[in-house]
Amino acid sequence: SQTIHQWPATLVQPVGSPLSLECTVEGTSNPNLYWYRQAAGRGLQLLFYSVGIGQISSEVPQNLSASRPQDRQFILSSKKLLLSDSGFYLCAWSRIFTGELFFGEGSRLTVL
Amino acid sequence: AQTVTQSQPEMSVQEAETVTLSCTYDTSENNYYLFWYKQPPSRQMILVIRQEAYKQQNATENRFSVNFQKAAKSFSLKISDSQLGDTAMYFCAFMKPSSNTGKLIFGQGTTLQVKP
């Protein structure tokens, strides 16, 4: 069976510090991978998606970047965090032809 | 660009009763998928139900059913015999299969509280 894990679950970082959130998928190959951010009252905003190793598409210009160094690994990064980067970040993978997304547990980031 | 709107930020229902969550969307596509996802408190988001736009029959999954009105671009979720475990945030989502990216566009979410 397929599983998805992301970490850390909770993170408190000062403004200007770097960020690295990791996500790994097991039990499937060549998944489509996604990073979403969930803000109160604003639903889920798609930040990045990847259809293969090294292929990253950005949906929203911002302070964040994403990388996919391995087939089932997806990393969300920032060199210098802003207060506005605070939020709940969700990693997901999909069965592309059904559209079903499988989400990780989420990472709550607080930037102070 | 496609948009998804959920106009009810919060709703509540008594246990065992029926509740309907609303969702509208805007698209010029003819073929697309619609979804309802459930995010329980402190738990992973999961798929509740899926509807393909070319299918006229409304999707049903046990106590969950949808009312899909393609012309009106409306996609509501009905939960029958509500249970305490249905307490969660519910998201409506849209996908354009022709993009081959699997990207979902989500609404703002509706927080549902089931009361004993």
Encode pLDDT of A23-46 as tens digits: 999 998 889 999 999 987 668 889
pLDDT at A97: 64
Indicate whether A63 pLDDT > 90: no
In the prediction, which pLDDT does A78 show?
A: 95
CA nearest to A4 within chain B: B44
Task: Give the A window 52-71 contacts with B, CB below 8 Å.
Answer: 57, 59
Which residue out of A35, A36, A44 would a mutagenesis test of the B interface target, given it has the greatest number of B Cβ atoms within 10 Å?
A44
Contact, B101 vs A32, CB < 8 A?
yes
Question: What's the confidence (pLDDT) of residue B96?
Answer: 86
Higher pLDDT, B102 or A71: A71
* Domain of B48, in residue numbers: 3-115
Q: Test B101 with A49 for CB contact under 8 angstroms.
A: yes
pLDDT in tens, A81-111: 999 999 999 999 987 667 788 999 999 999 9
Overall domain count for chain B: 1
| CATH number of the domain within which B64 lies | 2.60.40.10
What pLDDT is stored for residue A39 in this prediction?
81
State the best of B34, B37, B45, B61 to mutate against chain A, taking most chain A CBs within 10 Å: B45
Domains and CATH numbers, chain A: 3-111 (2.60.40.10)
Output the DSSP codes for B28-46.
S-SS-EEEEEEE-TTS--E
Q: What angle do CA B95, A98, A94 make, to 5 degrees?
A: 80
Q: How far is B66 from chain A, CA to nearest CA, in Å?
A: 17
Calculate the average pLDDT of chain B. Answer: 93
Query: Would the CB atoms of B102 and A101 count as touching at under 8 Å?
Result: yes
Task: Decide if B44 and A106 are in contact by the 8 Å CB cutoff.
Answer: yes
DSSP characters over A14-65: -TT--EEEEEEEES-SS-EEEEEEE-TTS-EEEEEEEEETTEEEESS-SS-E
